[in-house]
Amino acid sequence: MDNLKDKIVLITGSGKGSGQLLAKAFAEHGAIVAANDISPINVEEVVDAINKQGGHAKAYVEDVAKKVGVQNLINQVEDDFGRIDILVNHAAVEPNVPLLSMDEWDWHRVLDVNLTGAFLMTQSAGRVMREKGAGVIINLISANQDPARNEAAFVASMSGLESFTQQAVRELSPHGIRVYALVNTRDTIIANVLALFE
C-alpha cells in the first residue's frame, strides 16, 4: 500500500485496544505514526514495538480532552514532521456506571474525552490540513454498546460523535479534507481503515 508510505498518521488513544492495532498496521504499511495516549507506559510500549520492527513511530503523552493538551500535541507533531496527513480519533473512556448512580464527573469525563476530544482534535488538525489542502480524519464509533451494561454517557457520546462527523464532512470537504465515521470492531477495524487508502 504505497499511498501510506511516509504519511504522518496521528492516532489518539493508541496505547491499547484498536488504537494500538491501528498504530502497528499503519507502521507496517510504511506510515510514520504519531502515537498519542494519556498513559506514557502504554503508548511507549507500542512505539518501542513499532520501532523494533523497523517502523517509525514517536510517542506523545497528552490529554486530548483538554484544549491546551491538544494544541501541544498538534504543535509537537508539526514540529517533528511538518504536517499531519491522517488523524484517527480513537481515544475513549467507557465507565460502567448506572444512570441513577453516575456522578457529574463521570458524565463530563466521558463526553470530554469521547466527544469534545474528537472536536478539539478535528478542529486543530483540520486547520493544519486546510493549509496543505488535503487530509483524512477518521472517527471511530464503538460497536461494543452492550444493553446489559450501564453506558448512558458512553452511548450519548457515540451518538454525538456520529452526528459531529456528518457535520464535519460538510464543512471540511471543501478544503480537501475527507472525514469518516467507522464502526470500531476489533475484528474488522484494521481492514476497514486501510480500505480507505487503497
Report the distance separating Cα 110 and Cα 82, nearest Å. 31
pTM beyond 0.85: the answer is yes
Residues 6+ apart with CB under 8 A from 29: 1, 4, 5, 194
What pLDDT is stored for residue 95 in this prediction? Answer: 82
Q: Encode pLDDT of 56-82 as tens digits.
A: 999 999 999 999 999 999 999 999 999
Q: Residue 144 is placed in which grid cell? A: 461494543
pLDDT in tens, 111-122: 999 999 999 999
| Boundaries of every domain in the chain | 1-65+84-101+142-151+191-198
Pull the grid cell for residue 165: 462527523
pLDDT for 184 equals 85
Give the pLDDT of the chain (198 residues) as one tens digit per residue.
578 999 999 999 999 999 999 999 999 999 999 999 999 999 999 999 999 999 999 999 999 999 999 999 999 999 999 999 999 999 999 888 888 999 999 999 999 999 999 999 999 999 999 999 999 999 999 866 566 666 889 989 999 999 999 999 999 999 999 999 999 887 899 999 999 998
Name the class of domain 1-65+84-101+142-151+191-198. Answer: alpha beta
pLDDT score recorded for residue 69: 97
Q: Which residues of 110-122 are buried (b: 16+ CB within 10 A; e: fewer)?
A: bbbbbbbbbbbbb
